[in-house]
Structure 1
Amino acid sequence: MKFSIYGRFQLDVRRENDAWEVYHLEPGKRAKVNDLVIPPTLDADELATYLDDIFHELAGPGQSVQLMP
C-alpha cells in the first residue's frame, strides 16, 4: 500500500512475514525505512491513521495522509 505523507514524500507499506515493512519511495528507487516500526497487530485499514499519528508535525492545515491508487 502506498501512502502520500502530506504531499511531502511517499511510503510503501507491505506485509512481510507477519510484520509491516516500510519503504521510502523516490523516483526509480525504494529504500527500506528501519527506524519506523508499525505494530504487527495493526490492520491494513488502520495504517493511514497510524502514519498520520507518527508524522502529524509535518502536516499543514487540512492535510492528511492519503492512500495512493
Structure 2
Amino acid sequence: MSHSHNLPAAVRFTSNGLIIDGGTVLLSTEGTDLVRCVVVALPLGITRLGRQGPGGCLPDPRS
C-alpha cells in the first residue's frame, strides 16, 4: 500500500475543537487503479472518504 498527503507535519486544533490545518490523504495499492482519498476539511475537521478522480476527491457512488 502506498500513500501521499498534503497535511502539515502537525495537525493543529483550537481550544474549542476546530481544526487549523487540514488536507487530503491518498491511499492506493499496487495492482489496482483505485485510489482512495480522505479529506480533513477546515474548520470543523469533517472527514470524508471518497475516490480520487480528475476533479479531486470525489464521493464514492457505492457509499
TM-score normalized with structure 2 length:
0.37
**Which protein has greater RCO, CA pairs closer than 8 Å, 6+ apart?**
1
TM-score normalized with structure 1 length:
0.35
1 or 2, which has the higher strand percentage?
A: 2
Largest Rg, 1 or 2: 2
